[in-house]
Amino acid sequence: MPSLPRSLPRICVALGLNSISELARCAEREYKDGSTFLEFRLDALSDPAKGVEFVASFHRAHPEIPLLATCRHKQHAGAFKGSVERQIAILRDSAQAGAAAIDLEIESAECAKPAAAALREFASLIVSYHNFESTPALEPVLRKLRRIPADAYKLVTTARKPSDNLRLVQFARERRDFPLIAFTMSEQGTLTRILAPMLGCPFTYAAPSDMEGTAPGQIPAPVMRSVYRADKLTKQSRIYGVIADPVAHSKSPLIHNRAFHAKRIDAVYIPFLVPNNCLADWMKVATDLPVAGFSVTIPHKQRIVRYLDTIEPLAKRIGAVNTVWRKGGKWRGANTDAQGVLKPLAKHIQLNRAAILIAGYGGAARAAAIALAGSGARITITGRDMKKAQALARVAKGDAVSLASAEASHYDALVHATPVGMSPHPDGSLFKRVPADIVLDMVYNPHQTLLLTKAKQQGCIIVYGSEMLLEQAACQFEIWTGESAPRSVMQSALENHG
C-alpha cells in the first residue's frame, strides 16, 4: 500500500487553469524554471475528466516530477460540480495515470469512506481540511481527519491575527507518527507557508511564476526558492522579519535574505503583517515562535517602545524604534533610520550649515529630525496636522510651518517622511512645487515617486528612498548578526528586483 514518498520536494507549485492548453503551457514553464513538484487542480478545468489524460502525458514526458492531483468539489471551495462518486473516480484515474499523490477533502471522504480508502491502492492519499474563515481549535479538526485512513493529512486554516499563526506553528511542531501538512492562508499567514517544511511538514505550497495562486496568500515559487529559500531552512534556522501594515510592498526581505545567504547564515527574513491593533498579539508570537529580531515600520515605530525591555539612548531620544532584537532573554530596541538619513544627505550637503525641511511627524520623521538637529542642521517640520508638526519641532528645537508656507519658502534639503506616494497608492504627493535643492524621499516603493519626479523636473538633486533603506538595513544586519553587512550584495538584491 502506498505511503507518502519521503523524497518529495519541499515546495509544491499549485496549478489551477481553465483549459488543458493553458495547464500544459504553465506546467512546462514551471518545469523549465526549476519547479520539481506540481499540483494539478483538475476541478479548475472546464472538463476535469480530460485532466486525467494530461496527467498521463505529462508523467510520460517528465517521470521524475512527482504530481499531486486534486479535484475539489464546488461545495467545498473547489469547482467540481459532479457527484462525489465521479470526483473520486477522477482521482483514481489520475493515480493510475501517474499521479504520485491525490488530495481529497474531508467532506467528500466522509461521504464515501470505502471508496476513499480504496484510493490508497493506486497512490498516496492526502485527506485535507480547509477553513477559509478562521483558525478554529485544531485538535478536534485533526481527530476528524484521522478517522479517514490516509497517508498524510492536510490542515489549512485562515489567519486573522498574528497569534492564529502561532497556534498553527505550535501544533505543526508537535512530534507525530504521521505526515501533517499544516499552514494558514491569507497575507497574515505568510510566515506559516514559508516555515512549514522547517516545522516538519512534508512540503508547502507555492503559486506559479507571474500568476495568481489557487488559494489566498500563496507566494510565487521563484520567491519561495530564491528569496526565502524555504526548501533549505532547518529547525535551527533563525527567524527575522519586518512588522508593518501594509507590508506586502516591503523590499526588506529581498535585501536581508540575500545578505544572510551571502554570509552563509542559517536564517530567514519574513514580512509579518501586523495591524495597528495587534502589536501586543504580535509580541507574544515573536517571543514564543521564537523570533530573533525584526525591523519595525509604519505604523509601529513609536508604539513598539512600550513592549521593549531596553532601548538604546538615540532611539530613546527619538522616541521611535525601527530595529528590535533579543539578547539575554530581553527585547532590545535601536533606531537605524538616523544613519539612513545622515549618510545619504552628507554626500551632497554640509549638514551643520543646512536648512532642512522635514515633511511628517511619525517615527521616521522623528529619527530624521533629531539626527539632523544633532548634526547642527536648522530643522523645520511640516505636514497636514500642525499640532503634530509643532510637537516634533519642539523636540528637535526647530520650527513648524504649514504645507502652504513650506511650499512658498526655500530650503537646502527636503526630507519626505510620510507614506504619501507609497505603493499601492503611488499617485500622491504633498507638494505641488518642491521647495528645496535636494530631496530625499523615504518612500522606496515605487523607486521613482511622484515627488522625486517633480524634483527632477525642477532640477533638484534627488536621493532615492532605496539609499536610506540600504543604509539602515545594513546597520540592522550588523546589530543582529555581529558581522559586517555585505552592502554591495544587498544593493544588488534591491536593484535586480526593481
DSSP 78: S
How far apart are alpha carbons 71 and 48 in whole angstroms? 8
Starting at the earlier edge strand, list the strands of the sheet with 411-416.
399-400, 378-382, 355-359, 411-416, 436-441, 461-463
- Radius of gyration of the chain from Cα atoms? 26
Give just the sign of the alpha carbon dihedral 59, 61, 66, 67: negative
Name the pairing type of β-strands 11-15 and 204-206: parallel
Please identify which of the residues 113, 301, 397, 432 carries the catalytic annotation.
301
Name residues whose C-beta falls within 8 Å of residue 496's C-beta, 6 or more positions apart in sequence. Answer: none
Q: What is the CB neighbour count within 10 angstroms for residue 228?
A: 24
Element (H, E) at 239: strand 238-244
H helix or E strand, kind and range, residue 414: strand 411-416
Inter-residue contact 25 to 83 (CB < 8 Å)? no
Cell numbers linked to 3: 505511503
| Residues 165, 171, 173, 176, CA torsion sign | negative
Is residue 215 classed as helix, strand or coil in its secondary structure? coil
- Look at residue 105 and give its three-state secondary structure: strand
Residue with cell 545622515: 342
For residue 160, count other CB atoms closer than 10 A to its CB.
Answer: 17
Cell numbers 526647530 correspond to what residue? 398
> Which residues are CB-neighbours of 313 under 8 A, at least 6 positions away?
none
d(CA 59, CA 52): 11
263 is catalytic: no
- Residues marked as catalytic: 301
